[in-house]
Amino acid sequence: MRVAAVSDDGSTLNSYPPQHITPVTETAPERPWAIYLTDREHAYRLLCFDLDGKTPEAAEAAEQDAAALARLLTDAGLAPVVCQSGPQGGRHIWIALREGVSAELVHRLARLAKTLHTTLDLSPIMNPAAGCVRPPGAPHRHGGSSTVIDGKLHSLTRPSGTEAAVAAAVERLAQLVNDRAATERTDTFSAETEQDDRKHPHIPGTKRPLAPAAAAALRADAAAGDASAVLWRVLTGAAAAHWQYSDLARLLDTAPGLEHARTRREHGRRIARRPDERARVLRRQWDRAVAYIASGRRVVGRDETFDARADAIATLVLAVQGRADAAPGRWNRGGGPADRRVLDALSILTLQAVSADVEADTRRLALMAGIGRETARTALLRLSEDGWIVRTREAEGRGAAHWKIGPQVVIHSNPDEGRSQVAHRPPGSGSAARNALLLELTNRLDSAAHDLFTLGALGLHAGNVYARCTHDPLPLAQLARLTGSDAAHTVQTLTQLIEADVLLLSRDGWHKPAADRRDAAADARGVTGRLAARAERYAVERELWAWWQDELDWMNTAPAERPKRPAPGQLVLVPDVGPTPRPIHPRTPYGRADYRAARCILTGTTPPARPRPVPVSDAERLIIDILGATPIATIPFPDPHDEPQPDSLEGKAQRSGAQRSAAALS
């Protein structure tokens, strides 16, 4: 066992250093002492869930968490013993195992339990080499001792727990985590989807063929059965495959699986719908399908490979996040705070896509991380240079660059054959591991991405420190380790957060208040609305970029095949059954793209007056006609604020497009 250390003034510390190892004897030490959870082979022989209760609110939450977790463990066939760990109200849940259980399975159990029970301290149970906890009867440094309040003590002296029972507990926790993720992620529709030019939502990403089930539904004779169910299978499959509404609209008149949108059942037979009704039904069902897929509530059981793929992706993200947490100093100076946010944002996209290779433009990353697009661009470059990410595909046309986190980690094409610990993955636990990470990273990034933590306010590093804080008090040493700063710098940042009234200091450390106070602090500093205004600017820039890309496509299309286009600002009154060409892009008098006028059309503002061309003399006109020259004085130099500034990774494509348009017009 290990015995607690003592400070110079004689007070007992909450530390059990390796040099304080002592053999177990008949006489227990007077100071607090702790026992290991694993044997010499680092297989778990004891499980202990340490639920902290350092404040009255935390103690109440720990009591509730302990009761719920103990019930689940009992239902799984284990025999938990619940102890009050000390005078502050914390709880320990002990389980003795009659056989060694692998660290991978126990860690999976602990991480899922942490997702549901936030008072759980993962430190001891996640350390198979040196994790130790005070057992029942061991004294507490603040007085009292660990006391059994539920369960039988002989359950620990006569172990009965098995690996199968631990796996059953993992399976139960996995189902609860998946259910919670489906509930809490219903508000991610706008964050995980984009809109096409007709404002139809879709899941961003590279379009791929339909899954076999959805492709079969698209070809099925829906009129002979439940046409509504067949349509739903088609639409959810198409949304998951990154199709857009226009892809389905083109198939509306011919695909058998879309019968429900074409006809309705009436008195035992199907009646054709009017054209506008067809489009309305398809549009309404498509919106529902995209929202359903974006919310993460899709039934996983229909895809037998999903759980294994989700587990492989979760393992990748865990490895990258663990490596990042092990190098906290990388993220606390210079561009480090922005780099960590971008790395977390890419991790979230990786989990959402269940793919190691994700398409991510700088604007999307910037909005997710609460930073500017240029900051996101430079963060990507720094992360790439340092080996945290790798660019797998350059930006081209409408497509953004593709990135992969953790290039040193290999994702097997067949996860079941590529991972030896697959036997320890109970059903649904791969999906649950992915959902747990999604919830953790999303909540952390959302905490940091706030107006209060923008430049000119408290700054990015303060936001990252705030995001690491919890409602349970954390000591200075732990916060300094998590944020990679020294004690002095950490105290300075924590003091700023306390002065902003978004963080509190108690006897046991720093913690968040019960109610979120960031909005009030942002109002007091006059920075409310910064991120919302940035999102509006980026939305306009996206539209400008898409408009110019359509213009280039139209110019590169054979004249006989070019669709008719309305003038800029002209409304198109046609049924919404497919993509409609964008209006003609505004041009300057010299034939260049007029981005300023295009922006004004999109935003509904009045464009500023442009200077008229400088008149030329007869001699200059003669030179122009003979030599084809243009007087330099009459060439308008582009205003750097005139053009939309696409992601720098796409800038070359836009500039080359502008050059092609000028050449075509000449």
Q: Model confidence over 585-643: pLDDT tens digits?
A: 888 887 788 888 888 887 777 766 665 656 667 777 777 667 666 555 444 444 444 44
Residue of 48, 131, 142 whose CA lies nearest to 89: 142
Q: Are 377 and 362 in contact (CB under 8 A)?
A: yes
**The pLDDT value given to residue 661:** 41
What length is written for the chain? 666
Return mean pLDDT, the chain.
Answer: 82
> How far apart (Å, rounded) are the C-alpha atoms in residues 351 and 358?
10
**Helix, strand and coil in the chain, % to nearest 5:** 50, 10, 40
Q: Are 421 and 163 in contact (CB under 8 A)?
A: no
625, HSE (Cβ side, Cα atoms, 13 Å): 7
Q: Model confidence over 356-387: pLDDT tens digits?
A: 888 888 999 999 999 999 999 999 999 999 99
> How far apart (Å, rounded) are the C-alpha atoms in residues 136 and 134?
7
* C-alpha Rg value of the chain to the nearest Å: 30
**The pLDDT value given to residue 1:** 87
**The pLDDT value given to residue 29:** 84
For residue 337, give the DSSP letter: H
Q: Give the tokens for residue 40.
A: 């010499």
**The pLDDT value given to residue 639:** 46
Q: Residue 240 pLDDT > 70, yes or no?
A: yes
Torsion, Cα of 654, 659, 665, 666 (10° steps):
170
3-class DSSP assignment, residue 139? strand
Q: Residue 39 pLDDT > 60, yes or no?
A: yes
Which of the four pLDDT bands, split at 50, 70 and 90, describes residue 499? very high
CATH numbers and ranges of domains, the chain: 2-179 (3.30.70.1790), 212-302 (no CATH), 532-665 (no CATH)
**The pLDDT value given to residue 295:** 65
Q: Model confidence over 117-160: pLDDT tens digits?
A: 988 999 899 999 888 999 999 998 888 889 999 999 999 999 99
- Give the Å distances, CA to CA, from 350 to 117, 297, 403, 551: 25, 17, 9, 32
For residue 29, give the DSSP letter: P
Q: Model confidence over 246-271: pLDDT tens digits?
A: 899 889 888 888 988 888 877 777 88
Which of the four pLDDT bands, split at 50, 70 and 90, describes residue 578? very low
Q: Residue 664 pLDDT > 50, yes or no?
A: no
Look at the block and give the residue holding tokens 């991610």.
188
3-class DSSP assignment, residue 268? coil
- Give the Å distances, CA to CA, from 402 to 349, 365, 391: 11, 12, 6
How distant is the alpha carbon of residue 103 from its chain centre? 27
How distant is the alpha carbon of residue 86 from its chain centre? 37
Q: Model confidence over 520-564: pLDDT tens digits?
A: 999 999 999 999 899 888 888 888 888 888 888 888 888 888 777
Q: Which residues contact 356 (CB under 8 A, 6 or more apart)?
A: 313, 316, 350, 404, 405, 411
> How far apart (Å, rounded) are the C-alpha atoms in residues 194 and 375?
22
Which of the four pLDDT bands, split at 50, 70 and 90, describes residue 397? confident
Query: What is the dihedral sign for C-alpha 86, 92, 98, 102?
Result: negative
